[in-house]
Amino acid sequence: MPTGGEPLAASPDQSASDAVKTVRFALFAPGDRLRLVDGPAELDTDEYGDQVQKQLRDKVNFAVDPFGKLTSDMKLKEHGMFIRSPQAARQSHDPHARPALHLYPENHAASAIIASLGGPRETWRGTIAFLGSEDDNGHFLGLDDDQIEVLRKAERLAAG
């Protein structure tokens, strides 16, 4: 199975340069285990003429926040990864956001994993996505094998 960002096998009538590329990311849902997911790496042109990963953004945002699809990103600098979390779940200090918190259960495993990777020591809520680094144009690359192993090791440590 290819790692994120590497081309999938090309069909016989398709050249390697035309092969579909994917971006591998990881999801941690509350009470669940690490799940690796492949998303589309295709670039779309937005209304300003910029190249964006709209399909990938939509897939990750729906996985993280199926209710509002509003998410926040944070970089884990030491490991070259990004965390994407539900925006409403990060606003638990806001009394107007509290009614929505039942939609985003506490995610103790992801909280421990994020803290062990140098992220903030706080209670994270809802499904958390881990994405790879960005290229020079700000487009996400798939998690590489080393990053996946770091996440698996952190998951094992968090499970005790």
Count of C-beta atoms within a 10 Å radius of residue 145: 10
CA angle 25, 6, 83 (to 5 degrees): 20
Domain ranges of the chain: 21-159
Predicted structure pTM score: 0.81
Q: Which DSSP state fits 70?
A: -
Task: Name the one residue in this structure whose structure tokens are 């492949």.
Answer: 38
Q: Are 25 and 132 in contact (CB under 8 A)?
A: yes
Tell me the pLDDT of the chain (160 aa) as tens digits. Answer: 333 333 323 333 433 443 448 999 999 999 999 999 999 999 999 999 999 999 999 999 999 999 888 899 999 988 999 999 998 776 555 555 555 677 889 999 999 999 999 999 988 999 999 999 999 999 999 999 999 999 999 999 888 7
